[in-house]
Every structure is written in structure tokens, then in C-alpha cells.
Structure 1
Amino acid sequence: MKKSVIYAALLAAIASVGCGNKQDANDKNFGVAIGQFLDKRGDLCMSPSFTHDKWPVDLSQIELSMEKTMPSGPAGQMAALAAVGLASQSDIEVDQIAWTGKPTGNKIKMKRYALTDTGKKFYHEKQGVLCYGKESLDKVVKWDIPQSLGGALITNVKYLYKIEGLADWANNADVQAAFPYIRTMIDGAGKQEQAQGIKLTNQGWEALGLE
């Protein structure tokens, strides 16, 4: 009996496409759900790699020496951000710390990178990331027939995205070399399919992961 009820609900959701209901399984309703998801979760952001996820960022001489050989490493990333005016740099000396956790009495030279006023405009302090644009829905490409899972109707939607409010510095070649993901996202706009799970609720279709 339970299976027949679920199956009937599935058929009703799919067959009601022509009724203009928010619970219909169609491109329009899935597009609304994806759009709402991207409104809340579509920020395109990045943070310095490895352990350098807070500002200011201090780099050792060893890290700095790897800037040319590892453009996507800490030194390459900081140099790229400084080149486009998002970060400033200064030479500092800090206490050398022994393996015991205590100062050795010696000083070591480091380079400190701090966000500029321009950089702070793109910085989301709570997440510790710099954001360069926002994903929005281009179009729904295709979707699977909704299936019952855990008592709910769920489908997987494939869609294309576009980028709104793209920061000028995100197109900088050095920035894209330091943060390859940025170039991947820019090049993929309107071309690279994304996937998102969607579930049926009393209010209509809703993207998974918004709870």
C-alpha cells in the first residue's frame, strides 16, 4: 500500500506539468529552485591556500623562494593579490620559535601581506574569503525523473550558470595562475554543466542543502 501511494504521488507530480503548479516537475520550477539556491549559495570566492587562511599573512623566506616555481603556492598567490592592489606587503622580523614552543632569542625575516582598503571591499570576514562574483542561473539543461527517497520526491538537475558582478581583478592573468579555480569558473560560464539535487516540498521544489 505504501509503495502504491508513493508511486501515485510521483505520477501526480510529473503528470501535472500543464497545470502551472509550483509542484510541477518542469524546467521553470526547477529553474526557480536553482535560482533561489544560487541567491544564497552562489558567491564565488577564494582564500589563500595551505595554512594561510587569515589576514595578515606572513610568509617565510623559504615560502617566498618558491614564488616562481609554484605560482599557485602561498608566495605566488600573495604576489598576485598585491599586484592587483588587493594586498600590501612589508618586511618584518619575528621571534624564532623552537620546537618546544618557546622563543630562541633569534629573529627571522618574513614578508607580511595585509588587505588593502580595496581588498577589504571583496573580503567576507566570517568565512575568511575574497569574493570575485556571483553565480546565477543561465538555463536548466536537463533533469532526471523524480524518485522517491526517504519519503520525499528528489531529482537531479543539470544547469548552466553565468557570473554576475565579476571583479576586474579576477580576469588578471597572474591572479588566474595563482588561483586556477577562478579561471575554471570564468571559462565554464554558459558551457560547464553543474548539478544540484532538488526536492519537492509543500511550497514547491527546493534545492537540497539550504537547511
Structure 2
Amino acid sequence: MTDDFKHRGRREQLIKLLREKGIEDESVLTAINKIPRHLFIDSAFEEHAYQDTAFPIAAGQTISHPFTVAFQTELLHVKKGDKVLEVGTGSGYQASVLVAMGAEVYTIERQKELFDFSQRIFRKIKISPKYAIYGDGYKGLPSFAPFDRIIVTAGSSTIPKTLLQQLKIGGVMVIPLGDKNQMMTTFLRVSEMNFEKMEFGDCQFVPMLERKEK
């Protein structure tokens, strides 16, 4: 598949829809408009790639609705040059949006099939994170910490304190918290020991895999 005039026109329509649904951050919308979402999904779904719909990808996972990607990204308040940790590379779509926003992206994926898929897509679209790592995202990347922003793209039943400790003071983590249904939640690190928690409504993500660490 290529990225042609037809696809670009459909992305323009998607951006219009995201605005109607309440996305206001122009840097988020501009980045989503740059990324060819149809290349991240099976060709059978190409005609529907720019609808606000989730699609199955490898390893029993999904690529999130465009609104979900836009909403999570907007909650991050990413600035150009921010050091961002993404837990759960998946198809690589969210990471690509963050890179298009000028972020320095560190992304980690524990399912080899997805990791390999995302690497192929990054090469194809000529956009790539600073580091893409095959490993256990629940542990984060302490050797690269601290991070300005952390985004978790799977539902977590508990608050991953290991990740919170990898935030800079003033940094923000966005994570879906809960079991089958989750609450979109942000944590702002206000000091070494203190975090401000805010909730932004119900959401539904595939669950984060049980961590390997004891």
C-alpha cells in the first residue's frame, strides 16, 4: 500500500471528526494528519482506516480508535523535545504520532510479533522513535529515566509505581486504570514523593499483560 491523495483526503476528514469530538490541541491534530494509519492495519481494513474505529492487529491486540490516540496524546501535553516513554508499542501508530510531534520517544513492547511488526512499519514510513525496545514495559526503562512524559497503552488494574518513579518532577503519566473497563487517568509528579491524580472518563483497552517481575 502507498499513501496517496485519497488517503490524505480521508485523513483530513478524520481530523474534522476529531475536532467535532472535542480534540483541541492543534499539534496533536497536525501529527495525526501526517501519519498514514492505513499502513498500520491489515489491508482488508484499508477502506475503513480513517474511521474512528479500532482494528485487530497481531498477537490478539488492537490499534486504538483515532479519538483515543488523540485524547491520550492531548492529555500528555507534549512539547517538542520532550522525552516520552511509551509502554506498549503495539502497531507503532501512537509512537509515530508522538515522533511527528517532535518528541524524543522511547517505546517498549513485550510481544515479539508486535515488536517486529512495528519495526517494519517504522522503516516503511521513515519515522522512528529514538529507542524501540523489546522487553517488559511494566518495568519501564529505568536506565533512560527520568522522563518528561509516560503513556501507557494498555489497561492496568493497579497503579504501576515503578513507572511513576521514572517521571521527572513536573512530568505527566497517562494511563487507563482498571480491570475490564478502565478510567483514563493522569498523574502529575509535583515533588519527589507526591503526585496529583486526575480522571478523565471511562475507556476500554486491552489489559496489560501480567508483569514478569516478582
Q: TM-score range by the shorter chain?
A: under 0.3
TM-score, length of structure 2 as denominator length: 0.21
Q: Which has the higher Rg, Structure 1 or Structure 2?
A: 1
TM-score, length of structure 1 as denominator length: 0.22
Q: Which has the higher strand share?
A: 1
Structure with greater contact order relative to length (CA < 8 Å, sep ≥ 6):
1
